[in-house]
Structure 1
Amino acid sequence: MLKLRVVSIVTVLVVLVSCGSKEKEVMSENNLMANDKKSRKEVVYQVFTRLFGNTNTTNKPWGTIEENGVGKFNDFTDKALAEIKDLGVTHIWYTGVPHHDVITDYTKYGISNDDPDVVKGRAGSPYAVKDYYNVNPDLAENPAARLQEFEALIKRTHKAGLKLIIDIVPNHVARNYKSISKPEGITDFGETDDKAVVYSVNNNFYYNPGEAFKVPNWQNGYLPLGGEKNPLSDGKFEENPSKWTGNGSRLSQPEPNDWYETVKINYGVSPDGKHDFDPLPEGFDMKDYKAHFDFWKDKTVPDSWDKFKDIALFWTEKSVDGFRYDMAEMVPVEFWSYMNSAIKMNNPDAFLLAEVYNPSLYRDYIRKGKMDYLYDKVQLYDTLKHVIQGYGKTDNIPPIQEDLKDIEHHMLHFLENHDEQRIASPEFAGNAQKAKPAMVVSATISTSPTLIYFGQELGEPGAEDLGFGDPSRTSIFDYGSVQTINRWVNNKQFDGGQSTAEELNLRDFYKRLLNVTISSEALMGAYKDLHEYNKAHTKFYTAKQLAYARWNTNEKLIVISNFDADYGAEINLKLPVTLIKTWQLEPGDYQVEDLLYKEFRSLLKVSENQGVVKITLKPLESFILKLQ
């Protein structure tokens, strides 16, 4: 029995309207018709590589690799990759691939042991990279051939029709960075530094001459490895002179909440903020990557710039299709112009995604830094999270689209990633179903790519306490496994054979939605807000609703979203006359049919003054309707 509460309704509706060949499209002023815009939406599947194929369910806090197990590159079989692609995915982001510090002994492979006093967790932080010219030995069946195993995964990924992304972390490296795999002619970070000075333009690090590094004073009962004895866990780490820490701390003894396991990279920015490199000329924000590449060709740049450019090109030449850049806003935008233009000269289609959280920097990092995409975290994600949790208003969403209308294509959307709480965790929503309307909004409101985090499609709650990492987020620091993924992997059958019915139903929703987004032309077209119009002209339209239109010449979409988890309703959604005229719809009735589940039909009734479509909604229900 449908429970109705007329005063509080939200659902998700997408109406697809086809037009005759003679109709001419009139794009809204909010639409960004960028020359570099893709013809279809892109969907990124972020997967924490060492957790994906690990079927060991022990999950002991601070457990060793032998106790808790670890996933491997080889777990991404042809079958596994085909299933990920069929979910509606175009790109896969293999997180944790570059060789970072770990507390597992690989000395027989020529790899030095890492000190627990400067390693987070037992499996280590993927953002404390130790050797950029090789990959995490944990991920290989044969650590001696770990790079070859990853190269084979690159080939399998491409064979599956997917492109792949890995991390590069230019702001910082592991305190004990040392590459044993670097190509001939490459020097290590810090190898030629003048350590007698705090700063020199071609030093890779910043130093505190005359001061030795000290391990943080641990607080709240924390001890490395949970207090387990280890020959290297002695409260000491040899580093003299001490280096500045990755988050910018200049203390020789960092605080426990500092990024103490990493050291800050020097990009030619002196301690007083002076930039010892050429600025980009006025107007270069509007020039393409080729012009940026030409600008830097005859310039002398700081040594760190060249080191990271060489790293990026090393992986580009191995057919890696793009990079996710950690904490990009902590690195000068001119460096990004230098490196990204070099990458694009090698691969114009490279997918370059950056973690930037300051909206005042967005346009510079896109236009000057030549980033393809930035996280839309502090605006759309944070707002959607509040709405999902029940205390935010959808009124706050249209202004975000208005604010970002000139760069909306470049703002990647997500509801989960490795830094954020799992939707199903009690700290977020406690129920993955509550994110359904938000997921539709996230995936359809703009031309930007969509990112989902592995297990999100199965309602993963991230509840395990594995040691260093906190529950509510799947730990990136510890050995362990992800229970919803384990059930779907089903002893490497990758068929959901052990998944619950609820998990499979949720995955089916994501699969239907994502495949619609990557096949729709309209979602790469124009956008018009319908929220304010319906608030003013539609009875019972509230701040729990959100409506907007998306269209191009061949497809017309209307999206209306419902975040009410308790009540459904019947609503007459109204389209203003301006939109009817833009779409050149003649008065009459247009039948619409749901594309997601193909169980709902209604009529779009068009008059001279407006269009109206009547819908019967269940709580959190979603429709994608196509004009017949």
Structure 2
Amino acid sequence: MSSSTKHKLIIYQLLPRLFGNTNTTNKFYGSVEENGSGKFNQITEKALTEIKGMGFTHIWYTGIIEHATMTDYSAYGITPDDPDVVKGPAGSPYAIKDYYDVDPDLAVDVPNRMAEFEALIERTHQQELKVIIDLVPNHVARTYHSDAKPAGVKDFGEDDDLTKAYSPQNDFYYIPGQPFTVPQDYNPGGDEFASPLKDGKFNENPAKGTGDDVFTASPSINNWFETIKLNYGVDFSKGYDMHFDPIPPVWQKMLDILCYWSAKGVDGFRCDMVEYVPSEFWAWIIPQMKQRYPELIFIGEAYQTGQYPNYLFSGKFDYLYDKVGLYDALKRLTCNEPDASTWQINNVWNNHCRGFDERMLRFMENHDEQRIASPHFAGDAWLAVPGMIVTATLATGPVMIYFGQEVGEPATQAEGFSGADGRTSIFDYCGVPEHQKWVNGGAFDGGQLTENQQALRSFYSRLLNISAQSQAIAEGKFYELMIANEHSEGFNERLYLYLRYTAQERVLIAVNFNRHEQNINIKLPDDLLNEFKLNGNVEFTDLLSGTPYVTADATQALPVILPAMQGLILKF
């Protein structure tokens, strides 16, 4: 290990509404009073110390900014949202209601909610952890209204011309002459939820276009009907006719928003659905923000692999999601799908991410994806071991873990709006049962975890700390060993072999996606032997277990036994 390693981002994603919640009621469609909500203050110094100890460098606090909800906070001067245009009792963190405020669910003292978040930023920084929050640039809640915006800042839609379906100077898109119609089959909050506003109607005339680019007054329940699309100067009625000169009003408003949160000490933004926003906007705003805050990072949620270079090089993003590449390949291998092959991993870095592999954010769970331990994914958290080794060590770019992943949270229950789909609901008030065993009533000591869960968490801790501290992994080169070994005894396409190295450190990584033990003699090609000046006896040590491996002659193969669904990180 080297103390002079380049910084590798290791991100812990957590929802404060769920993270510290110790309530175990989990009533279907339960209210905040029934099922509880985590608070900013519950993310304590102890919790942060434990997160830091696992090797994390950044925390992505998901769902910070105030979003539409079915919970009534009118006693605190907050206008109630109409439940007919809110998804789930808690509401979606991606239906922003006020870009200059934080979610009142997360505050112990609601009038003091911003100060509680600012204190969380300070606590996080005291642990030498960086803070990431969401930017949701494409859409806002139908009930959007900022009552916390700074003086001189205009609200979205404040100066819009409602008679025009599209205008370069409007913030929203309109369907003139037609009122908005709530999807008929939507039952907000479930059968037990009652509210004077729950009447199947929402007063919006003219109707606005939805966040998923549906320009109708009657969106379906499958549309993002609870959101309205922001206008970045694109006229969709004429294909994709762009009007960027003069700068559209939304661009400046987003710049003001980013400056507001950056000034509070936020270190980075995970930007939602960046492909729904013109790349020209990103090329305009990110350099301006980095000029003001040079260390600020921008992570883009992106899925169109052909557009990756555009968003990285023209749009100036630091990192993009690698979902439609490495995640998909690893999920197929983890689930033992018949056509899964580790050659598909080669295809990711050789094609999808060629030339910018180090700028891809890798993960096996996040709030949008199914839990590894759920029946919808692998059904067993331990089956992710080889995939997580690859996720964390394939490149110098970021690796991300979703809270609860490290203790095998299976997300088996239906919480309310979110059914039993293998995901932890972001729309409902609920507890996260296996994660709560680690929280242990706020002690954050894992006191209720089983031995199996403790072992799993220890694996994640070792893997992430190796990734953070190993110079070869944090900043080294990559050398693929598949071709050199494809004719070796014991080789098959459910094994993946590669090298990460610098002049000071070399790490050989071997993972086995087979559901059975595999013996293989791993060969190093002649060009590597010459570069490393290797001959004679070489000792390898598995960084995950400390187990030594010795080969009598480096020019010969290294015999390795790989247990089923396991892997080695061999330093030599």
TM-score of the two chains, using structure 1 as the length reference: 0.88
Q: State the match for 2:528 in structure 1.
A: 579
Q: Secondary structure at the match of 2:528?
A: helix
- 1:101 aligns with one of 48, 68, 86: 68
Q: How big is the shift at 1:346? A: 1.6
TM superposition outliers: structure 1 runs of 4+ over 3 Å = 604-607
Supply the AA of the counterpart residue of 1:224: P
Structure-2 separation of matches of 1:349 and 1:470: 40
Shift of 1:617: 2.7
Establish whether residue 212 from structure 1 lines up as the match of residue 179 from structure 2.
yes
Give the alignment of 1:3-22 within 5 angstroms: none
Q: Distance in 2 between the 1:457 and 1:305 partners? A: 39
The residue that corresponds to 2:357 in the other structure is: 408
1:95-150 per-residue CA deviation (whole Å, 9 max, x = no partner) reads 00000011111112110101111000000000000001010000000110110100
1:226 to 181, 185, 190: 190
**Aligned residue type for 1:577:** D
Matched, 1:495 2:440: no
CA distance in 2, matches of 1:393, 1:217: 45
> For 1:364-393, what per-residue CA distance to the aligned partner results, in whole angstroms no more than 9, with x for missing partners?
101111101100000110010000010111
What letter matches 1:532 in structure 2?
Answer: I
The CA deviation string for residues 332-388 of structure 1, in whole angstroms up to 9 with x for no partner, is: 001011111121112111121111100011001011111011000001100100000
Q: Is 1:265 matched up with 2:230?
A: yes
1:191, 1:468 → 2: CA distance? Answer: 32
Partner residue in 2 for 1:461: 410
Report the equivalent of 2:313.
367
In 2, Cα distance between the equivalents of 1:469 and 1:496? 27
Residue in structure 2 matching 1:276, options 219, 227, 243: 243
Instruction: Tell me the secondary structure at the aligned position of residue 384 of structure 2.
Output: helix
Q: Residue in 1 aligned with 2:19? A: 52
Q: Distance in 2 between matches of 1:569 and 1:327?
A: 41
Superposed displacement of residue 611, structure 1: 4.6
| Cα distance in 2 between the residues matched to 1:234 and 1:616 | 64
| Matching residue of 1:293 | none
Q: What letter matches 1:226 in structure 2?
A: G
- The aligned counterpart of 2:567 is 622
The answer to whether the Cα contact below 8 Å between 1:531 and 1:547 also exists between their aligned partners in 2 is: yes
Stretch deviating more after TM superposition (310-319 or 227-236):
227-236
Residue in structure 2 matched with residue 436 of structure 1 by the alignment? 385
Structure 1: gaps (5+ residues): 1-15, 19-37, 279-299
Compute the displacement of 1:564 (Å).
Answer: 2.1
Alignment of 1:297-316 (within 5 A): 300-316=246-262
Q: Could you say what the CA RMSD is over the residues aligned between the two structures, in angstroms?
A: 1.3
State the SS of the aligned residue for 1:177: coil
Bigger mean CA offset, 570-579 vs 59-68: 570-579
Query: Whole-Å Cα distance in 1 between the matches of residues 249 and 551 of structure 2?
Result: 62
| Contact 1:413–1:442, Cα closer than 8 Å, also in 2 | yes
Name the CA distance, whole Å, in 2 between partners of 1:621 and 1:359. 29
1:161 aligns with 2:128: yes
Mapping 1:80-479, distance limit 5 Å: 80-218=47-185, 223-227=187-191, 228-271=193-236, 272=238, 273-277=240-244, 300-391=246-337, 392-403=340-351, 404-471=353-420, 472-479=422-429
Q: Does 1:601 align with 2:548?
A: yes
SS in 2 for 1:166: strand
1:224-275, Cα deviation, whole Å (9 max, x unpaired): 1112332111000000000000000011010110000000000011121111
- SS of the equivalent of 2:180 reads coil
Pick 1 or 2: higher relative contact order, CA cutoff 8 A, min separation 6: 1
Whether contact under 8 Å (1:129, 1:174) holds in the other structure is yes
Does structure 2 retain, via aligned residues, the 8 Å contact 1:216–1:254?
Answer: yes
The residue that corresponds to 1:34 in the other structure is none
Picking from 541, 547, 562, the partner of 2:497 is 547
Return the letter of the residue paired with 2:7: R
Distance in structure 2 (CA, Å) of the matches to 1:170 and 1:396: 33
**1:592 alignment partner in structure 2:** 540
TM-superposed CA distance for 1:605, in Å, is 4.4
Letter aligned with residue 549 of structure 1: L
Aligned match of 1:482: 432
The residue type equivalent to 2:179 in the other structure is: A
Secondary structure of the structure 1 residue equivalent to 2:235: coil
Distance in 2 separating the partners of 1:130 and 1:575: 57
Q: For the Cα contact (< 8 Å) 1:577–1:611, is it kept in 2?
A: no
The partner residue of 2:557 within 606, 612, 625 is 612
Alpha-carbon separation, structure 2, partners of 1:398 and 1:569: 21
Query: 2:552 & 2:280 partners in 1: Cα distance?
Result: 54
What secondary structure does 1:451 align onto?
strand
1:5 maps to what in 2? none
